[in-house]
Amino acid sequence: MTSYNRSVAWLTVCVLLALHIGGSHQQQQQCTTPTRLRGRCISIYECDSILDYFKQRILTWEEREFLRKSQCTGATSGRQPFVCCPGNGSKPVVAPATTVPAGTASTTPAGPAATAPSGDAELADQLVGGLLPNPKKNECGVSIGMRIYGGQNADIDEFPWLALLQYENRKGERKYSCGGSLINRRYVLTAAHCVIGEVERKEGKLVSVRLGEYNTKTEIDCVTEEQEEICADPPVDAGIESVIVHPGYQDMAHADDIALLRLAQSIEYTSFVQPVCLPLTDFRASKTGEVNFVTGFGRTLQESRSAVKQKLGIKVYDHARCQEKYATKNSSITTNQLCAGGEYAKDSCHGDSGGPLMKLQKVWYLEGIVSYGNRCGLEDWPGVYTHVPAYMAWVRSNIKE
């Protein structure tokens, strides 16, 4: 195995465990392993049987699930994850999965059983027969970055649904401008203003989508974590089969600023390319003051555009006040839009037009799409986002296998 593959596998081990652990730790407390063996809740670094088994391999979904289920209720010291280590030192025996692997979507309709609760029936309907990933099965919205709440640069494997839209001008020159979000293997959700209108005149024709990008200046993206180099897979470039713009969108207006891109190929999911969850039946819309996140390759205070994927936490802005603010600019804010930001130098300029505004609710949900604003990072002027929950019926009716 190459050092690159070992690095990716080891990152997966550490991060999957670090994501879910919380509570108070009691040294050497007894526990039961996923294979029903008696064990002790200790640091993974003290459990040779698990450590040696997983650090030398690229993890399958079953192995990731085994790791997740091996977690015990202790906390961590720094970023040390705790696992239920078998007392006899036996190596893990990972059973085949009995459920659909995380990050995959069934290609055949999978309606609920006749005895299923009405809530499950409603969820199955909202998943469009398995075309959309199921949040309850962790098939989407799983971001395994280690520093979600710190810094401007995102982690190399953080927010793996972020898409970059590439345009070609009349001279044949190509550049990335807008962003988007991968929602399943064939579709990216973005803003309508990123695919028609002024963008065609300024940037050119939309020609492709890039997934899995972290640093636009390097062919292979690598970072150093705890003195070990971690490298991502090469980014994936996909052509565009068709563009579906919301019928209510008008170039000079901002309402219904949403569009679907159907990719020319089915996308293979990796640690660096995954779909985000869409807001379904049990999604709870954000309230004023709650923190959501934007991500992308937008402007920073130092550069006109960042080469490295950025992230920023911004607060949801009071809707009525947002309507009042934008009314002074002759702009109408509807209930199908969400306002967020409004702090000096903190706005979706850190992301991209068409990029995601995300809410963490066990998994990451796409709550908004970057639409427009009154300049970038202006004090007490929030950015405006297309509110995705208001458009779920439209999304469902416009996707196919």
Domain CATH code at residue 8: 3.30.1640.30
**Least confident interval from 59-63, 263-267, 291-295:** 59-63
Q: What does pLDDT average to over the chain?
A: 78
- Residue predicted with more confidence, 125 or 260: 260
- For residue 257, indicate whether it is catalytic: yes
- Residue 17 one-letter amino acid: L
**What's the half-sphere exposure (Cβ side, CA atoms, 13 Å) at 134?**
21
d(CA 367, CA 389): 7
How do residues 173-184 score in pLDDT, each as one tens digit?
A: 999 889 999 999
Judge if 261 and 300 occupy the same domain.
no
Judged against a pLDDT cut of 50, whether residue 8 lies above it is answered with no
**What pTM does this model have?**
0.71
> CA–CA distance from 97 to each of 8, 39, 102, 134, 137 (Å)?
22, 23, 10, 17, 13
Whether residue 52 lies in the annotated active site: no
Same domain, 263 and 303: no
Which stretch of 223-232, 245-254, 355-364 has the lowest confidence by average pLDDT? 223-232
Most confident of 113-117, 295-299, 334-338: 334-338
- Residue 301: exposed, middle, or buried by beta-carbon count in 10 A (0-12, 13-18, 19+)? exposed
Helix-helix angle 61-70:48-55, to 10 degrees: 160
Q: How many domains does the chain have?
A: 3
Q: Tell whether 216 and 305 lie within a shared domain.
A: no
- State residue 46's pLDDT score: 79
- Of 253, 276, 299, the last residue of a domain is 276
Q: Which residue has the higher pLDDT, 370 or 144?
A: 370
57 domain residue, yes or no: yes
Q: Find tokens 């024709």 and name the residue.
A: 205
List helix spans (H) across 61-171: 61-70, 118-126
d(CA 149, CA 182): 22
115 within a domain of the structure (yes/no): no
Give yes or no: residues 184 and 234 share one domain: yes
Give the C-alpha distances (Å, rounded to integers) separating 333 from 62, 314, 329, 373: 46, 19, 11, 11
The CATH number for 194's domain is: 2.40.10.10
Paired with 6 in beta bridges are none
In the set 193, 246, 350, 387, the catalytic residue is 193
- The predicted model gives 152-161 an average pLDDT of 84
pLDDT band at 57 (very low <50, low <70, confident <90, very high): very low
Count of residues in the chain: 401
Catalytic position from the list 143, 177, 181, 353: 353
Check: CB of residue 335 under 8 Å from CB of residue 304.
no
**Residue recorded with tokens 């010291």:** 77
Residue 9 resides in a domain: yes
42's tokens: 């200790």
| Local confidence band at 42 (pLDDT 50, 70, 90 cut-offs) | confident
Q: Does 251 share its domain with 298?
A: no
pLDDT of 128 over the 90 cut: no
Quick one: 269 and 166 in the same domain?
Answer: yes
% of residues, the chain, pLDDT over 70: 72
* Catalytic pick among 157, 221, 257, 352: 257
* Residue 353 falls in the annotated catalytic set: yes
Across the range 240-267, mean pLDDT stands at 94
Q: What is the pLDDT at residue 11?
A: 44
281 within some domain: no
Q: Which domain holds residue 252?
A: 162-276
Question: Token pair of 82, please?
Answer: 């705790």
